[in-house]
Amino acid sequence: MIELAPTHKYGLSLPTPVMPAAGVFGYGDVYRDLLEEGVLGALVTNPISLRPRNVAQGQRILTRGEQVLLHTGLPNAGAKAILRQYGKYWERSPVPVIPHLVATTPAETSKAAVLLSAARGVGGIELGLAENVSEDKAVELLHAAQDSGLPLIVQVPFSRVDALAPRLVEAGADALTLTAPPRAVLPLPDAPEDKAESGTRLMRGRLYGPAVFPLLLNVLARFAAPGANQLHVPIIACGGVASPADALTCISLGAAAVQVDVLVWRTPGVLREIAAAFKAL
CATH classification at residue 208 = 3.20.20.70
What element of type H or E holds 271?
helix 270-280
Secondary structure of residue 71 in the 3-state scheme: coil
Q: How far apart are CA 272 and CA 244, in angstroms?
A: 9
Q: What angle do CA 244, 245, 246 make, to 5 degrees?
A: 90
The answer to whether residue 258 is domain-embedded is yes
255 within domain boundaries: yes
pLDDT in tens, the chain (281 residues): 899 999 999 999 999 999 999 999 999 888 777 767 678 999 999 999 999 999 998 889 999 988 999 999 999 999 999 999 999 999 999 899 999 999 999 999 999 999 999 999 999 999 999 999 999 999 999 999 999 999 999 999 999 999 999 999 999 999 999 999 999 999 988 755 544 455 678 999 999 999 999 999 999 999 999 999 999 999 999 999 999 999 999 999 999 999 999 999 989 889 999 999 998 88
Number of domains into which the chain is organized: 1
Q: Are 224 and 254 in contact (CB under 8 A)?
A: yes
Domain that includes residue 116, residue range: 2-189+200-280
Its pTM stands at 0.94
